[in-house]
Amino acid sequence: MVWAFATAGVHTDKLYEVVANEAVQRQVRGFNSQDLSNMVWAFATAGVHADQFYEMVANEAVQRQVRGFKPQDLSNMVWA
C-alpha cells in the first residue's frame, strides 16, 4: 500500500505512521524480501523518518543474511 502512495507522490503521514507501527509490532514477520524492500523504498521516497521501522528491517535483513533477497530487493534497500 505505501509503495503505491509513494509511487503516486502522495504523502500521508498518518498512513506511514500506522504501517510502520504495525510492521514493528509484527516484527516484520510474514514479510518477504520484496515486501521489505518495497516498504523501505516507499518510506525513503516519501521522505518518512521512521527510525524504529528502519532499524527493524535492517536487523531482519542481517538476520536472514540477505538470503532470498533478489538483486533488485537489495538495491532498493541500499538506495533507501
pLDDT beyond 80 at 67 = no
Q: How confident is the model at residue 11 (pLDDT cuts 50, 70, 90)?
A: confident
- CB burial class (10 A; 0-12, 13-18, 19+) of residue 41? buried
pTM (2 d.p.) = 0.80
Percent of the chain with pLDDT over 70: 100
Closest CA to 1 of 80, 31, 57, 78: 31
Res 52: pLDDT = 92
pLDDT beyond 80 at 12 = yes
In the numeric block, the cell 533477497 is attached to 69
> CA-CA distances (angstroms) from residue 79 to 30, 37, 74?
23, 10, 8
Mean pLDDT value across the chain: 85
